[in-house]
Structure 1
Amino acid sequence: MVGLASPAQAATSATATYAKGSDWGGGFEGKWTVKNTGTTTITNWTVEWDFPTGTRVTSAWDADVTNVGNRWTAKNKSWAAALAPGASTTFGFNGTGPGAPSNCKINGANCEGGPTDPLPTAPGTPTSSNVTETSAVISWTAATDNTGIKNYDLLRDGLKIATVTGLTYTDNTLAKGTEYSYTVQARDTIDQLGPLSAAHTFTTPGTGPGGNKIKMGYFTNWGVYGRNYHVKNLVTSGSAAKITHINYAFGNVQNGRCTIGDSYSDYERAYTADLSVDGVADTWDQPLRGSFNQLRKLKQQYPHIKILFSFGGWTWSGGFTQAMQNPAAFAQSCYDLVEDPRWADVFDGIDLDWEYPNACGLTCDSSGPAVMKNMAQAFRTKFGPNYLVTAAITADSKTGGKIDAADYGGAAQYLNWYNVMTYDFFGAWSAQGPTAMHSPLNSYIPIPEPAWTSANAIAKLKLKGVPANKLLLGVGFYGRGWTGVTQTLPGGTATGPAPGTYEPGFEDYKVLKNTCPASGTAGGTAYAKCGSNWWGYDTPATIGSKMTWAKNQELGGAFWWEFSGDTSNGELVTAVHNGLQ
């Protein structure tokens, strides 16, 4: 912990010391410790300090924190007011910005340390050398400070990736054909962070699997059963070379904790050589089997792929409400599961698929609009800056709809991106129709609900303050259909859901392309009528158009639900890949 302000004088009966905890690039955790150094009990205390412009407290606990401009004040809670001689108490906060506190006062007197210590200067602009497809050496010139420089934080694309004592760092975690931006800031011997350096940007050589765009698909743990879709299919279809990320779905949320969803599929099933990614069969005594081990083998062959463990989904979202009664404990449980020593090297992050915060899905939640931001903040605090933390979210853009129900804009600062579920707007749960594309990009006549389009959802989230590059456009690798339909164009009446292989009203693209080929488009999505059955679904051509739109909107990329709906040669993954190049 770092003392701020001059040594306590005889009249000063307390000290306040500051320590910086987690730092995830876009935010940090700070903690103050108040100690009674006098000989009589303190009945109340107030700590004041300055933050430089651009640094501020976003939330606090165990004290009431307010500010006037850059001057911040923390007053004790009632239960922490009295401090006996020698006793201490702490309060903490989450903040944004790179600055450190200065000019600290406690009960009007100086805190322990120097009253105002200057921040370190900005280091020199970083440079890059020995750049390869997957690594680079980053160097910078030293900062200066009156107390000396302790170390430097190196940030890549705004997230801290390393703390080093020297003036160089070798980053071995790069992807080919990808642009990166580096900044660096110095920390002095009393743990004050100085300003960021100017940014240095470069692009690694080679043709990347997605450049700067994210191409992410869901892999379901139940798909290994009836669908007979395994991790090896990502290789044989050619998809593994064309994607950047995988969401492994799903883990469960139970009793306030993240839990395994299907232990047999996840890590117990023994794979035979013909179904194994590398052609090597599992043995009875190896410590990890199942899809987790197959994903490990996949990453060995395709090291550019990042894998996230996704929790929740439509069926298992009901546990989030209880879990968010203690966000820190919830995040800790998920971290412990994702980082289980048996498979810690498999996962690069976590995806939170709550359907839906402060709204209704399979179940209803009334936690309040702040719950999304609180969840994102708790998980970023726990997982830190080097893990991916993402969320799958609603695309309901109606006034008063699900996007309006939670603070998605406020939560975005803690997340790497959102998977916007721009599909399932319409389906045969409305058994009599009207028939409609379940994933329209734009409105069309006669769309049942004009607000329900991908374009409207993305536009509303932008208005809520979500940066475009943190939004991924969702694509369904399946169709939604009705039967008893006489009209070829959308908007017809029906008698119920069309027959489907796994459920009524639902069919994979790989089946529909042959059994009911598309005959037209509306709203940027294809439709087809075969006999009395009517289907709406995306094709390689409509996906290509959607990807062009996503690039024009400067979105972060696209994702899809889910891999097993694609053809054996990965037609739809290829369409996403080519469209985002």
Structure 2
Amino acid sequence: MRFRHKAAAGFATLLLPVAGLVGLASPAQAATSATATYAKTQDWGSGFEGKWTVKNTGTTTISSWTVEWDFPSGTKATSAWDATVTNSGDHWTAKNLSWNGTLAPGASVSFGFNGSGSGSPTGCKLNGGSCDGGTEVPGDAAPSAPGTPTASDITDTSVKLSWPAATDDKGVKNYDVLRDGTKVATVTGTSHTDTGLSKGTDYSYTVQARDTADQTGPVSGAVKVRTTGQTEEPPPTGDKVKLGYFTEWGVYGRNYHVKNLVTSGSAAKITHINYAFGNVKNGQCVLDDAYAATDKAYTADQSVSGTADAWDQPLRGNFNQLRQLKAKYPHIKVLYSFGGWTYSGGFGQAAQNPAAFAKSCKAVVEDPRWADVFDGIDIDWEYPNACGLTCDTSGPAAFRNLSQALRTEFGKDYLITAAITADGSDGGKIDAADYGGAAQYLDWYNVMTYDYFGAWDKAGPTNPHSPLTSYTGIPKEGFTSAAAISKLRAKGVPASKLLLGIGFYGRGWTGVTQSAPGGTATGPAPGTYEAGIEDYKILKNSCPATGTIAGTAYAHCGTNWWSYDTPATINSKMAWAKSQGLGGAFFWEFSGDTANGELVTAIDGGLK
């Protein structure tokens, strides 16, 4: 979210909950001479930006203002600017700052906030009176809330709304129709057709009654509407997915935090983040490391927002930092990835009851403490009906059934993706499961086109771990990116649903005398965290590339031999991905890149 506020105003961080901290001010002035109007200025699915505008419609100067409103349960403000915003439960109060409280006749001032949830404000009060400038008439009660509208006759550009009538002791005069909290029409009946909409776009409608004294009652419940057709607006960073994995444990030894995505420049160049990993236990999705995910406190200089975590705020850790990142970069979508190499053993039990598994996953993703953080779920099952760290015997249909259950449970508005094998050999892991049948339920596949060869074969031969194409001397045919993509397409997976995988690390051997690929070795090369593997940011200096093969760089330094991708090889791989019509690329993982994001920059530039 862009923060469009005066630097002098500062940024008011909300501490939630704040019951006990909120004291409602006495009205500074009757509201008969001022109005407060609300508009939802941006909506990115998991959150939104709201703006209130206070206007002095009277003939005397206003010295201060206080706006109050109610949000439905599940909707809240998460940060605000140009006002001090607090809450007591679902009741919210915004008070002017020292520099913007005085309003001359005809003058107006706005304040804004970032929010989560889909509800609209109701029960607005300005300085204790009506926000539309009307007065409360003694002895004349305001009308009741109308019933929640229903939507029908939805087209690309219009929708018909109908609602049960409100009641009033002296009669209802008309109804205000609000779209995303902003009044778009006033009608005398209980139906209205709203026109001039954008196709393929989400809207929220409520209705508010007015009585014969022009008093407004509470706003009705909201109905969500999505117009037909597809939006033609391209994503901010282009039409290709550029996804990176952020590891939960990276905040420890690697000392890599969400803020590093900002300081490296990477956040502006990606479209999606997979947060890795949630665990799969007893056939259910569960949070893994609660301290890293939700509890770790960040100081002001460590946090994305520049604001220190408070001891009593309900969410800290990586999830809160991701929330702040999305506020700063609203184009980024975040998916919660479950499984991975270590935690895939639980998928076999999950496959025995896919519906229960999907329900458990949605409960984790939609936990009220962080429901605004995640835009979808990624399943990293290594590997259905095949062997990874453990062997699975669920059968070829299990992965498709699991994917179908996830789509049924999460619905069309969530992203659902899967990281899958890139074994394109005959009778290999791609052939073991129904990836073609499952594709209809998923937005895309992260095809793990890396780790084909490595020092688990201690004696070699030395070969690139992420070859794009085949080459003379390759130890096993089908162990290339091109073979994997070709096989998946042959199984009916659209090219646009396939992302090419890039490793931000190298794999290497030691005891190697031959510079060219195919040499013998004595074991894995030394690595910072694990033998046989090292980050690109280290290798680019410690063992610079000496050649390329099959679209991947390799390096021979001393007795060590490494293969890894560089900005140059990534550029060539991105060109290949575009030539194949692929949906984009993804990488494992952010912390392997340089401090200035060399590899992310190469992916971004190569996919434009």
* TM-score of the pair, normalised by structure 1: 0.67
Tell me by how many angstroms 1:519 deviates: 1.0
Alignment partner for residue 425 of structure 1, among 452, 459, 465? 452
| In structure 1, C-alpha distance between the alignment counterparts of 2:159 and 2:433, rounded to whole Å | 42
| In structure 2, C-alpha distance between the alignment counterparts of 1:351 and 1:366, rounded to whole Å | 21
2:440 maps to 413
Alignment partner for residue 391 of structure 1, among 396, 415, 418? 418
1:456 maps to 483
Tell me by how many angstroms 1:511 deviates: 0.2
- AA at the equivalent of 1:327: P
Tell me by how many angstroms 1:450 deviates: 2.2
2:232 maps to 202
User: Over residues 180-217 of structure 1, what are the superposed CA-to-partner deviations in whole Å (9 max), with x where a residue is unaligned?
Assistant: 9789xxxxxxxxxxxxx99566335xxx5531100000
Q: 1:165 to 1:317 in 2, by over 3 A?
A: farther
Tell me by how many angstroms 1:274 deviates: 1.7
Q: Does 1:502 align with 2:529?
A: yes
| In structure 1, C-alpha distance between the alignment counterparts of 2:580 and 2:463, rounded to whole Å | 25
Q: Does 1:540 align with 2:567?
A: yes
Secondary structure of the 1:375 match is helix
Secondary structure of the 2:570 match is helix
Query: Do the aligned residues in 2 keep the contact of 1:296 with 1:345 (CA within 8 Å)?
Result: yes
Tell me by how many angstroms 1:451 deviates: 1.1
Secondary structure of the 1:431 match is coil
Q: Does 1:219 align with 2:249?
A: no
Secondary structure of the 2:301 match is helix
Tell me by how many angstroms 1:141 deviates: 10
Tell me by how many angstroms 1:123 deviates: 7.7
- AA at the equivalent of 1:352: I
Alignment partner for residue 332 of structure 2, among 297, 300, 305? 305
1:368 maps to 395
RMSD between superposed Cα atoms in Å: 2.4
| In structure 2, C-alpha distance between the alignment counterparts of 1:248 and 1:166, rounded to whole Å | 42
Q: How does 1:550-569 map to 2 (within 5 A)?
A: 550-569=577-596
Secondary structure of the 2:305 match is coil
Secondary structure of the 2:534 match is strand
Query: Do the aligned residues in 2 keep the contact of 1:209 with 1:241 (CA within 8 Å)?
Result: no
Query: Do the aligned residues in 2 keep the contact of 1:209 with 1:242 (CA within 8 Å)?
Result: no
Tell me by how many angstroms 1:324 deviates: 1.4
Tell me by how many angstroms 1:329 deviates: 0.5
Tell me by how many angstroms 1:446 deviates: 1.6
Alignment partner for residue 487 of structure 1, among 511, 514, 524? 514
Alignment partner for residue 474 of structure 2, among 447, 468, 488? 447
Identity of aligned residues (%): 71
Q: 1:170 to 1:347 in 2, by over 3 A?
A: farther
2:212 maps to none
- AA at the equivalent of 1:203: E
Secondary structure of the 2:360 match is helix
Query: Do the aligned residues in 1 keep the contact of 2:421 with 2:447 (CA within 8 Å)?
Result: yes
Q: How does 1:48-67 map to 2 (within 5 A)?
A: none
Q: 1:428 to 1:169 in 2, by over 3 A?
A: farther
1:519 maps to 546
Q: 1:548 to 1:286 in 2, by over 3 A?
A: same
Q: 1:285 to 1:403 in 2, by over 3 A?
A: same
Secondary structure of the 1:526 match is strand
User: Over residues 432-474 of structure 1, what are the superposed CA-to-partner deviations in whole Å (9 max), with x where a residue is unaligned?
Assistant: 0000100000011221112100000000000011000000000
Q: 1:201 to 1:337 in 2, by over 3 A?
A: closer
User: Over residues 224-273 of structure 1, what are the superposed CA-to-partner deviations in whole Å (9 max), with x where a residue is unaligned?
Assistant: 00000000000000000000000000000001111111111000111111
User: Over residues 531-559 of structure 1, what are the superposed CA-to-partner deviations in whole Å (9 max), with x where a residue is unaligned?
Assistant: 00000000000000000000010100000
Q: 1:141 to 1:345 in 2, by over 3 A?
A: closer
Alignment partner for residue 288 of structure 1, among 315, 321, 326? 315
1:97 maps to none
- AA at the equivalent of 2:292: S
Q: Does 1:350 align with 2:377?
A: yes
Q: 1:234 to 1:170 in 2, by over 3 A?
A: farther
Q: 1:123 to 1:341 in 2, by over 3 A?
A: closer
| In structure 1, C-alpha distance between the alignment counterparts of 2:540 and 2:312, rounded to whole Å | 43
| In structure 1, C-alpha distance between the alignment counterparts of 2:394 and 2:260, rounded to whole Å | 40
- AA at the equivalent of 1:202: E
Tell me by how many angstroms 1:122 deviates: 10
Q: 1:328 to 1:141 in 2, by over 3 A?
A: closer
Query: Do the aligned residues in 2 keep the contact of 1:210 with 1:580 (CA within 8 Å)?
Result: no
| In structure 1, C-alpha distance between the alignment counterparts of 2:375 and 2:505, rounded to whole Å | 28
- AA at the equivalent of 1:252: N
* TM-score of the pair, normalised by structure 2: 0.64
| In structure 2, C-alpha distance between the alignment counterparts of 1:558 and 1:324, rounded to whole Å | 28
| In structure 2, C-alpha distance between the alignment counterparts of 1:434 and 1:165, rounded to whole Å | 73
1:327 maps to 354
Q: Does 1:549 align with 2:579?
A: no
Runs of 4+ in 1 over 3 A off after TM superposition: 121-124, 138-142, 164-171, 180-183, 197-201
Q: How does 1:267-278 map to 2 (within 5 A)?
A: 267-278=294-305
Q: Which stretch has the larger CA shift, 530-539 or 437-446?
A: 437-446
Secondary structure of the 2:232 match is strand
User: Over residues 59-108 of structure 1, what are the superposed CA-to-partner deviations in whole Å (9 max), with x where a residue is unaligned?
Assistant: xxxxxxxxxxxxxxxxxxxxxxxxxxxxxxxxxxxxxxxxxxxxxxxxxx
| In structure 1, C-alpha distance between the alignment counterparts of 2:422 and 2:310, rounded to whole Å | 44
Segments of 5+ residues of structure 1 without an aligned counterpart are: 1-120, 127-137, 143-163, 172-179, 184-196
